[in-house]
Amino acid sequence: MQKSGFAEWSATIRPLLDKEATFKGADPEAFLQGAYDGLSSGIHLKSQGATDDLAFKGPGNLAKRISQERILHFKDGDAFLAYNEKFGTRTLIEVTLTDKDGGTLLHMRHTGFPDTATRDAHTSGWQSVFNRLSDYVEAEGSAGTVTVYGDGRSTYVRTVRMALAEKGIAYKLDPLTPRDPELLKHNPFGRIPAFTDGPLEFFETRAILSYIEEAFDGPSLISQAGPTARARCEKWISLINCHAYDAMVRRYVLQYVFPSGENGQPDRKTIDAALPDIAKQLDALEHAYGGRDFLAGNTLTMADLFFAPIVEYLGRFPESAAMLESRPNIRRAHTAMRARPSYAATQPNFG
Ligand SMILES: N[C@@H](CCC(=O)N[C@@H](CS)C(=O)NCC(=O)O)C(=O)O
């Protein structure tokens, strides 16, 4: 573009532009000179980078951006492609929206990567752009591409489903049990949940939540109250993952659900050994709430999504239900969690 110079650039682009939409009564020569100066100096790239994130957040931002910057409106797709052929950077994202079956089909194509490795390294950014566009086209997110693999009774599966519900993301649930051959295709360790979004695959609940947090719009599931609250959030998640799930679910709840003791009875020894650990963990969690309804800060975070599905089970068996009786903060916070649509929408059918 710099090599061609302004005269050649403007002679090429002028017939390709929608003049009314682009110039809006302004002097075309001066407008194009300003656009050329911005484009060839690279200044526009900085301003584009800064506004990229806002691009799909709604008409308000869009209008502001349009009023602040010189936008070149091409007559049609062919005109843009002709321009790009001559002056483009050769990496191009095409988005087409087509009416289909009473809905909108969103199709994206990204061309111009120098090699396949660069293309493949770009996959998650690409999927994330697609997700944001999907949300833009349909706020409820039913254009989604997400699948959660795992039996809906699993606390970890529920954590992921609640996170998706909190963000308003549509998904498909494939209720596979641990070690199912189909599940092993997505998680070689055979545990649930596993998660896919288009071509992207994840397992391990904290990692899945991290992706959900960053790849989709919607309310943040990380505390916005600063580094202390964020570190506390991670602390409770880590406690649950490393210790509390083991004591509360594996060594306690599951002993009742799948009894392995004599005469089909729950294994008393395993249960009794778990109880002091559960009591100690519940004390720490009870203290964490203080007067608040959330484990970290004053808003819902991932920590609450990890804990709430476990509390549901603790309320259903005798020793743990008694422990909850003497821990009012956990009970109060859980009542607040139960009132959330994400909780109701993911409640397992206990028969
Ligand atoms: N660290 C894994 C734990 C997942 C997990 O243990 N899920 C349970 C169901 S709630 C499971 O698959 N259990 C089967 C097994 O341990 O073999 C995560 O965070 O996703």
Query: C-alpha angle 140/143/145, rounded to 5°?
Result: 120
Distance from Cα 202 to the centre of ligand 1, integer Å: 14
Mutate to test the pocket of ligand 1, among 155, 184, 191 (most ligand atoms within 8 A of CB): 191
Cα-based torsion angle of the residue sequence 108, 165, 150, 269 in order, rounded to the nearest 10 degrees: 150
DSSP, collapsed to helix, strand or coil, labels residue 297 as coil
Same fold, 90-220 and 227-344: no
Mutate to test the pocket of ligand 1, among 153, 156, 312 (most ligand atoms within 8 A of CB): 156
Is residue 186 within 8 A of residue 234, CB to CB? The reply is no
Minimum-distance ligand 1 atom for the alpha carbon of 208: 20
Taking only the tens place, the pLDDT of each residue in 318-335 is: 999 999 999 999 999 999
Is residue 147 within 8 A of residue 171, CB to CB? The reply is yes
Minimum-distance ligand 1 atom for the alpha carbon of 156: 10
Is residue 161 within 8 A of residue 155, CB to CB? The reply is no
**Closest among 203, 147, 149, 208 to 176, alpha carbons compared:** 149
In our burial notation (b when 16+ CB lie closer than 10 A, e otherwise), range 87-124 reads eeeeeeeeeeeeeeeeeeebeeebeeeeeeeeeeeeee
Record: fold of 90-220? Glutaredoxin (3.40.30)
Kindly state the helix (H) or strand (E) to which residue 236 belongs, with its residue range: helix 227-239
Structure confidence at residue 309 (pLDDT): 98
Residue 293 pLDDT class (50, 70, 90 cuts): very high
Q: Which residue's alpha carbon is at the smallest distance from atom 11 of ligand 1?
A: 191
Q: Which of 102-106, 216-220, 262-266, 338-342 has the lowest mean pLDDT?
A: 102-106
Structure confidence at residue 91 (pLDDT): 64
Distance, in Å, from the CA atom of 187 to the CA atom of 182, rounded to the nearest integer, reads 9
DSSP, collapsed to helix, strand or coil, labels residue 272 as helix
Distance from Cα 324 to the centre of ligand 1, integer Å: 24
Distance, in Å, from the CA atom of 165 to the CA atom of 168, rounded to the nearest integer, reads 5
User: Has residue 65 got a pLDDT over 70?
Assistant: no
Q: Is the dihedral of CA 186, 187, 193, 194 positive or negative?
A: negative
Structure confidence at residue 42 (pLDDT): 58
Distance from Cα 191 to the centre of ligand 1, integer Å: 5
Which residue in this structure is represented by tokens 């999927």?
127
Minimum-distance ligand 1 atom for the alpha carbon of 206: 19
Structure confidence at residue 123 (pLDDT): 76
Domain ranges of the chain: 1-73, 90-220, 227-344
| Mean pLDDT taken over the chain | 86
CATH number of 227-344: 1.20.1050.10
Minimum-distance ligand 1 atom for the alpha carbon of 207: 19
> Any idea what DSSP says for residue 190?
-
| Ligand 1 cavity residues, CB under 6 Å | 154-156, 178, 191-192, 204-206, 241
